[in-house]
Amino acid sequence: MLSTYLPALVFVALGAVVGGSFAVLNQVLGPAKSKLVATGDPYECGLPSEVKQGFRFGISFYLIAMLFILFDIEVVFLYPIAVELRAFGTFALLETIVFVVLLMVAFIYVWRRGALEWK
């Protein structure tokens, strides 16, 4: 059974070979690394760079990530029941509807509380 996954391993290995060689090709084929200090500066337009590690970012990104976990689990749970829906018939259908309606209640709550508004 696991032998059906063998090509996936081959693809990952081939991707690693190509990706890995692209990551170091410049060192091999390109001219030597420039001695100029300015080439080590991150991109900036006009002003001198003020870059420090540990940026801060908006809380909205964090909220979206939490909502993603909730709704992606909904998707993952729907896959197995979608495969077997015909076999189980009305019973599975009712279960699915209850499941989705519960999640939609949560979705409407999140929406009404303004978590989906981008600030």
Partner 1 sequence: MSPILAVVGYAEPWWIAILKSVIIFAVALSMVPVVLIVERKLLGRFQGRYGPNRVGPMGMMQPLADIGKLITKAPFRPTTSIGFLFILAPAISMITAVAAFAIIPFGNVVDIAGTPVGLYGIDVGIGPLYLFAFGAVAFYGIMLGGWASGSKYSFLGSMRAAAQLISYEVAQGLSIVGVIITAGTLSLTEIVEAQEGMWYFIPQFVGLIVFMVASFAETNRTPFDLAEADAELVGGYNTEYGGSRFASYFFAEYLNVLIVSGIATTLFFGGWLLPFGIDPPTWVDPIVVLVKMFAFVFFFIWVRATLPRLRYDQLMSFGWKILLPIATLNTLITAIVVVAID
User: Looking only at residues 20 through 59 of this chain, which bind partner 1 when binding is defined by CB under 8 A?
Assistant: 20, 22-27, 29-34, 39-45, 51, 53, 55, 57
Question: Nearest 5 degrees, angle CA 38-CA 40-CA 44?
Answer: 70
Distance, CA of 62 to CA of 58 (rounded, Å): 8
User: Which is nearer to partner 1, 41 or 109 (by Cβ)?
Assistant: 41
- Residue number with CB closer to partner 1 (86 or 113): 86
- The per-residue DSSP string of 21-61 comes to HHHHHHHHHSPPPP--GGGGSPP-SSSPP---SS----HHH
Q: Which of residues 94-113 bind partner 1 (CB under 8 A)?
A: 96-97, 100, 104, 107, 111
Rank residues 15 and 109 by Cβ distance to partner 1 and give the closer one: 15
